[in-house]
Amino acid sequence: MGSSQSTSKENSIWATYFGANGWLIEFNGVNLLIDPWLTGELVFPPGKWFLKGSLPFEREITSKIDLILLTQGLPDHTHPPTLEKLGKSIPVIGSKKATELATKLGFKKIYRMDPGNTNIIDDIDIKATKGAPVPSIENGYLIKKDNFSIYIEPHGFIDDKLKPQKLDLVITPVVDISIPLIGKIIRGNSATIELIERFNPNYIFSSTVGGDIKFDGLLSKIFKVNNASNAELDKFKNNRIIIDPRPWHRYKVVKG
C-alpha cells in the first residue's frame, strides 16, 4: 500500500484558478501561490476612472502557502490589498517591480529574479524568463519540482532563449487583447500555437482574462478582445487537454 501511495503522489499535482492571473499550484507538500487577487478592488494608476476591477465575491485561501510567485509589478499581478492579508514570513519571488512592492508591504524573505536567473526554494526549481514589456520587461517562469514541469507567462510573450522541451503544464492566455495606438498587450492566440510546438505540453490552462470579474473605466471601454476561433490552434485540440478553467475549481494534473 505504501508503494501505491507514493506512486500516486509522484504522478499528480493540483491547480486551482482564482480568475484573472491568480493560481494555486499544489505540489507534493509545497503550495505555490501565483499572482493572487482575492480581495478588494483592482485599481490601475492614475485612478478608478482609468481602470477598476471588481470581484463577484471575495474568498480566502484555507491552504497553507509556502511560496508566493509574482510575474509582474502591475496591480493585477502584485495586488496590494491581497498581499497585505498574507503572512509576511512567506517567501516571495518576483520581478524587479514586484519585489520592490513586496518590500514596501513588509515581506521579510524576498528574492528578485531577472530573466535568465534561477533559484531553488522548497525544492522548487524556478527559472525566470523574459516576459511582457508593460512597459518594462517583466517575468515568465519555468517551474520544476520532482517530476513535474510548468511554464507560465501571463501576456503571451515567449522568451526566445527558452529551449524546446517536454513540459507537463502550460498556463497562458489564449486570446489577443489590444489597445488602439499601442497594439497587442496580450497575444495568446498565436502564443498558444508556439507554446504547443515548443513544449508539447500534456495540459494547457487558459489564464489572464478568465473568471467573473467586472471591469470599469476608460481603458475597459477601448480594449479590443479577439477570441475568434483559430483553425491552426483547433487542429491541436484533439491531441492534448486544453482547459478553460472554472474559478475555484481544483484541477488534477496527471503526469503524462
Q: Which tens digits make up the pLDDT trace of 182-222?
A: 667 788 787 888 999 999 999 999 987 766 777 777 666 65
Q: What are phi and psi of 112, to 5 degrees?
A: -75, 135
Query: What Rg do the C-alpha atoms of the chain give, in angstroms?
Result: 18
5: confidence class by pLDDT, cuts 50, 70, 90: very low
Short-list 210, 242, 72, 208, CA closest to 141: 72
- Which three three-digit cell numbers place residue 15? 491547480
- Which three three-digit cell numbers place residue 183? 497594439
The more confident residue out of 256 and 236 is 256
Report the chain's terminal Cα–Cα distance, integer Å: 23
DSSP secondary structure letter of residue 210: B
Residue 251 lies in a domain: no
**Contact by Cβ (8 Å): 153, 161:** no
Query: In whole angstroms, what is the distance from residue 128 CA to residue 126 CA?
Result: 7
| CATH code assigned at 207 | 3.60.15.10
Q: Which tens digits make up the pLDDT trace of 223-236?
A: 656 655 566 666 66
Against a cut of 0.85, is the pTM above it? Answer: yes
DSSP secondary structure letter of residue 123: T
The boundaries of the domain holding residue 7 are 2-245
- What's the rounded mean pLDDT across residues 114-135? 95
- Which three three-digit cell numbers place residue 21? 492571473
Query: In whole angstroms, what is the distance from residue 148 CA to residue 167 CA?
Result: 8
DSSP secondary structure letter of residue 238: G
Max CA distance (Å), the chain: 62
- Which three three-digit cell numbers place residue 120? 531553488
Residues 6+ apart with CB under 8 A from 127: 116, 117, 118, 141, 142, 143
Residue 201 lies in a domain: yes
The DSSP element (H or E) to which 192 belongs, if any, is helix 188-199
Short-list 201, 176, 177, 179, CA closest to 189: 176
Residue 38 lies in a domain: yes
Short-list 128, 122, 118, 123, CA closest to 109: 122
Query: In whole angstroms, what is the distance from residue 125 CA to residue 129 CA?
Result: 13
Mean pLDDT across the chain, nearest whole number? 85
pLDDT for 236 equals 61
Total domains in the chain come to 1
pLDDT for 31 equals 96
Residue 137 lies in a domain: yes
The more confident residue out of 216 and 10 is 216
Beta bridge partners of 152: 141, 171
The more confident residue out of 80 and 225 is 80
Query: In whole angstroms, what is the distance from residue 68 CA to residue 35 CA?
Result: 8
Residue 187 lies in a domain: yes
**Contact by Cβ (8 Å): 13, 26:** yes
Residue 253 lies in a domain: no
Residue 250 lies in a domain: no
pLDDT for 45 equals 73
Q: What are phi and psi of 194, to 5 degrees?
A: -65, -40
Residue 234 lies in a domain: yes
Q: Which tens digits make up the pLDDT trace of 81-93?
A: 999 999 999 999 9
**Contact by Cβ (8 Å): 244, 172:** no
